[in-house]
Every structure is written in C-alpha cells, then in structure tokens.
C-alpha cells in the first residue's frame, strides 16, 4: 500500500483523478487535502467517498502545522499536488490568493515533504507557464518559461521552486504541464462548461475579443492517465508536457456546442477582451509519448459530446453551484464587459 497525499482532490481534475485511480487500483491509499474553496466540491467524490483507502481532510495547503500532522499521521511518502487557484480571469480581478496558494502553499508542501523524505513529489502544472505562441510552433519542455497572467506566473514560480528542491536537496520531484482540460465536474467559470450552461439557459455566450484565440484541448481522463504514468514511471527531475494535439479557436468550439444543442448562433455575444490574453497555446507531447508510451485515447468529437451530455444530465450538480457565490462572480466578470 502506498500512502499518497493528493492536494486539491475536490476540484475538477483532482476529483476525476481520485475517482479514476481508486476505481482501478487498491494499492493506493489516498489522503485528499482540500480547502473546499468555491471550486472544491465533495459531491464530485461520491464514487470514492466510501472506499477504505480514501480519506478526506478539509484544510489549507498553506497551513504548515496541518500539513506536517497529515504527513505524520498517514505516513505520507508520495505527493500529487493539484491544489491551486486555477482561473485566469479571477487572477486578473485579484492576484494575492493565487500567490498565497500556488506559491506559498507549494513551498509548505515541499518543506514538509523534504522533512519526511518523500519518494515522489508530482507537481501538476500547466502549459500556460510557457506564455503565448504566434500562429506557428509548439511548446516543448525546453521552451523558456514566460508566463503572462498572475495565474500562470504563480504556477511558473511554483514550478521553478519545485525544481530547485530537486537540484538543492535531491528531492525526487516531477512536473507535468498539461494543456486545457474539459470533462465532467469542471467549474462553470471555464470556457466549455460556461458555454454549455449558458446555452441550456438560453443566456448570451460571451466571446472574448475576436474569438480566434486558440487552445489545445484534452479530455480530463486522458490527462489523468498521463498523470498516473508520470507518477509511476516518470524520471525524477524531469518535466513532461501533456496534450492531445487538438488545437481549436474558441469560436469554433462555441459554435460546435450550439450546433449539438440545437441552439441559435444568435446567442453568441462578442465582448471586451481579457487583458493580456494569450493568443495561442499548443503543446508538443512527444516526450511523454516516446519515453513513457502515453497516448490520448479520446477523440475530441466524442468526448465533447459526452461532456455536453454530462452537463445536460447533471443539472442538479451545476444548478447548486451557479446559485451561490458564482452568481456574484458572474456579475462582476461579465455585466460591464
């Protein structure tokens, strides 16, 4: 049995990871430490909550005493670190919590993990640390870090800090950098769930700028299979990019959602652009493919319609979310846009 601390396991990717991995393996004993911010939701973990090898602790990764207590109590030897403030638009409204959680929180985890001599520390990062591309080229693991938003700069700071623990203390760290995810349980502030839910509600679909910004989309399960592989077989001190080679301009996805849902394109509303908006992300995943044998198994065409169907079937999940704090956020972000 391996005792693994998973941080941020009540969020979108972390909860999908826990449900996926506990369904498959009984040699992982998972302790999920999550602060349950607006983005954390224990409902996501219903498939796992009764398992004997799953434990939940509500708490903040910046709390050194708590993190220390968890390592001691559960004899933690492995860390998979998903917890973060994760939304670019929120980081533009206010950056402080992004640096506190994403930078200082990661520092606390590293310091405690060093003390307890962990055998693997996997930092879940993002391709956004590389900055923005023009119309050509792909991000490789050697692309210099050049983050543009408070969110991506906080993730880049965490990444270099993680690597410094490898170089200075020989800590067995690994980093994954994934492109934009979509799938079940994604909080509806992000492009795809926001557009699906607004379409269901016949609300306007706010497209930033000219709508021709490009993201490289991956289904969350394909991301999590790559996380599992890097955790199991990755070489310490290495970075692995993860992406499904599925670049798409935002407007194309929005039209595809509308078409699948048989809604009118009149719902589309071009709005004021995001400040500092990165034009294009596209990721080269040849390293993880060649060295670890990973390959995505979902096509965008199938996984996007499965995702739309999931939101159609799980209205109660997102209705509870959009009735609360989200309403205030939505007004702040979009009403004057």
Should residue 120 be labelled a site residue for ligand NAD when binding is judged by CB under 6 A?
Answer: no
Which residues in 136-165 contact ligand NAD (CB under 6 A)? 155
Alpha carbons 9 and 83: distance in angstroms, whole number: 7
Alpha carbons 113 and 198: distance in angstroms, whole number: 42
Which residue ranges make up the site for ligand TYD (CB under 6 A)? 88-89, 180, 190-191, 194, 206-208, 213, 215, 250, 274
The residue annotated as part of the active site, out of 34, 127, 278, 284, is 127
117: its two tokens: 């001599």
Should residue 57 be labelled a site residue for ligand NAD when binding is judged by CB under 6 A?
Answer: no
Alpha carbons 196 and 200: distance in angstroms, whole number: 6
Q: What are phi and psi of 264, to 5 degrees?
A: -80, 145
CB of 13 or CB of 267, closer to ligand NAD: 13
Alpha carbons 143 and 128: distance in angstroms, whole number: 11
Please spell the DSSP secondary structure of 52-115, one letter per residue. TTEEEEE--TT-HHHHHHHHHHHT--EEEE------HHHHHH--HHHIIIIIIIHHHHHHHHHH
Rg (CA), the chain: 19
Q: Minimal distance in Å, beta carbon 93 to ligand NAD?
A: 15
Q: Minimal distance in Å, beta carbon 215 to ligand TYD?
A: 5
Catalytic (active site) residue 27: no
The residue annotated as part of the active site, out of 128, 216, 247, 284, is 128
Q: Backbone dihedral region of 2: left (phi > 0), alpha (psi from -120 to 50 degrees) or beta?
A: beta
Contacted entry of ligand TYD, ligand NAD, none for residue 88, CB cut-off 5 to 8 Å set by kind: ligand TYD
Catalytic (active site) residue 306: no
Alpha carbons 224 and 119: distance in angstroms, whole number: 20
Contacted entry of ligand NAD, ligand TYD, none for residue 178, CB cut-off 5 to 8 Å set by kind: ligand NAD
**Residue of the chain from 5, 6, 13, 229 that contacts ligand NAD (CB under 6 A):** 13
How many of the chain's residues bind ligand NAD (CB under 6 A)? 31
Catalytic (active site) residue 151: yes
Q: Which long-range contacts (CB under 8 A, 24 or more apart) does 108-111 make?
A: 108/61, 108/62, 108/63, 108/64, 108/67, 109/5, 109/7, 109/61, 109/67, 109/79, 109/81, 110/161, 110/162, 110/165, 110/171, 111/64
Q: Minimal distance in Å, beta carbon 209 to ligand TYD?
A: 7
Which residues in 302-331 contact ligand NAD (CB under 6 A)? none
**Residue of the chain from 3, 4, 6, 8 that contacts ligand NAD (CB under 6 A):** 8
CB of 23 or CB of 331, closer to ligand TYD: 331
CB of 265 or CB of 319, closer to ligand NAD: 319
Region from 10-18, 108-116, 135-143, 244-252 binding ligand NAD, contact rule CB under 6 A: 10-18
Residues 6+ away with beta carbon under 8 Å from 279: 132, 133, 134, 213, 214
CB of 34 or CB of 267, closer to ligand NAD: 34
Edge-to-edge strands, sheet with 239-242: 54-58, 28-34, 2-7, 78-81, 120-126, 173-178, 239-242
Should residue 131 be labelled a site residue for ligand NAD when binding is judged by CB under 6 A?
Answer: no
CB of 32 or CB of 333, closer to ligand TYD: 333
Should residue 225 be labelled a site residue for ligand NAD when binding is judged by CB under 6 A?
Answer: no
The answer to whether 288 and 336 have CB atoms below 8 angstroms apart is no
CB of 88 or CB of 227, closer to ligand TYD: 88
**Residue of the chain from 5, 6, 80, 83 that contacts ligand NAD (CB under 6 A):** 83
- Would you please indicate which residues are annotated as catalytic (active-site) residues? 127-128, 151
Q: In the complex, which residues of this chain contact ligand NAD (CB under 6 A)?
A: 7-8, 10-14, 33-37, 39-40, 60-62, 82-86, 101, 105, 124, 126, 155, 178, 180-181, 187
């Amino acid at each position: 049995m391996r005792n693994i601390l998973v941080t941020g396991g009540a969020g979108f990717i972390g909860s999908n990871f826990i449900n996926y991995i506990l369904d498959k393996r009984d040699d992982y004993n998972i302790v999920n430490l999550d602060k349950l911010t607006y983005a954390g939701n224990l409902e996501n973990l219903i498939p796992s909550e009764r398992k004997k090898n799953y434990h939940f602790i509500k708490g903040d990764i910046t709390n050194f005493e708590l993190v220390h207590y968890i390592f001691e109590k559960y004899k933690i030897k492995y860390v998979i670190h998903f917890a973060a403030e994760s939304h670019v638009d929120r980081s533009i409204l206010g950056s402080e919590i992004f640096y506190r959680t994403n930078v200082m929180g990661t520092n606390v985890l590293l310091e405690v993990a060093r003390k307890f001599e962990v055998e693997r520390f996997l930092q879940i990062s993002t391709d956004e640390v590389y900055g923005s591309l023009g119309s050509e080229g792909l991000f490789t693991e050697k692309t210099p870090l050049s983050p543009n938003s408070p969110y991506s700069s906080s993730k880049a700071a965490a990444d270099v800090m993680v690597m410094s623990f490898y170089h200075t203390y020989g800590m067995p760290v690994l980093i994954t950098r994934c492109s934009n995810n979509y799938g079940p349980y994604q909080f509806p502030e992000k492009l795809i769930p926001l557009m699906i839910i607004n379409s269901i509600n016949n609300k306007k679909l706010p497209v930033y700028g000219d709508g021709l910004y490009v993201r490289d989309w991956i289904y969350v399960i394909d991301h999590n299979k790559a996380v599992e592989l890097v955790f199991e077989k990755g070489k310490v001190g290495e970075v692995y990019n993860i992406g499904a080679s599925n670049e798409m301009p935002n407007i194309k996805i929005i039209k595809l959602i509308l078409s699948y849902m048989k809604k009118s394109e009149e719902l589309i509303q071009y709005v004021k652009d995001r400040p500092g908006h990165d034009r294009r992300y596209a990721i080269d995943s040849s390293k993880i493919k060649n060295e670890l044998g990973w390959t995505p198994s979902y096509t965008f065409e199938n996984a996007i319609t499965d995702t739309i169907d999931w939101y159609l079937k799980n209205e109660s999940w997102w209705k509870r979310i959009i009735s609360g704090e989200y309403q205030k956020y939505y007004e702040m972000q979009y009403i004057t846009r």
